[in-house]
Amino acid sequence: MLEVDKIYTLQINGTEVVAKIVKCDTLNNIVAHPMTLVPTQQGLQMLPSLMSANPDKNVTINTASITMHVEAHKDIQATYIQATTGIVTAPKTILKG
């Protein structure tokens, strides 16, 4: 089962969607700001999964539609947060001095 407040990569009908889980149960998952990964010449880009939807409204995804899910990679999470909030997180490195 998916955990609330975590960012996941979901495969839905062959499309990778990155979203933050707001609520989940056995039938539906409520997500915030679903973003689709799109390959471009510059690399992977994130675009809103529903272009005509109000970006401030949560989206319901039927649990049966999800074929695979995994907590998103840390780099993808950082990009998702930047794309949805504008907040840029600093890369985590070990300081040497």
CATH number, domain with residue 50: 2.30.30.100
Q: Give residue 16's pLDDT band: very low, low, confident or very high (50, 70, 90).
A: very high
Q: Give residue 97's pLDDT band: very low, low, confident or very high (50, 70, 90).
A: low
Kindly state whether residue 17 falls inside one of the protein's structural domains: yes
Kindly state whether residue 92 falls inside one of the protein's structural domains: no
pLDDT of residue 8: 98
pLDDT of residue 94: 53
Q: How many domains does the chain have?
A: 1
Q: Mean pLDDT, to the nearest integer, of 87-92?
A: 70
The values of phi and psi at residue 65, to 5°, are: -80, -15
CA gap 69, 71 in Å, rounded: 7
Domain that holds residue 81: 7-85
- pTM for this model (two decimals): 0.86
Other Cβ atoms less than 10 A from the Cβ of 45: the count is 14
Kindly state whether residue 41 falls inside one of the protein's structural domains: yes
Task: Measure the CA dihedral 25/31/37/42, to 10°.
Answer: -150
pLDDT tens for 29-81 read 999 999 998 888 998 889 999 999 998 999 999 999 999 999 999 999 999 99
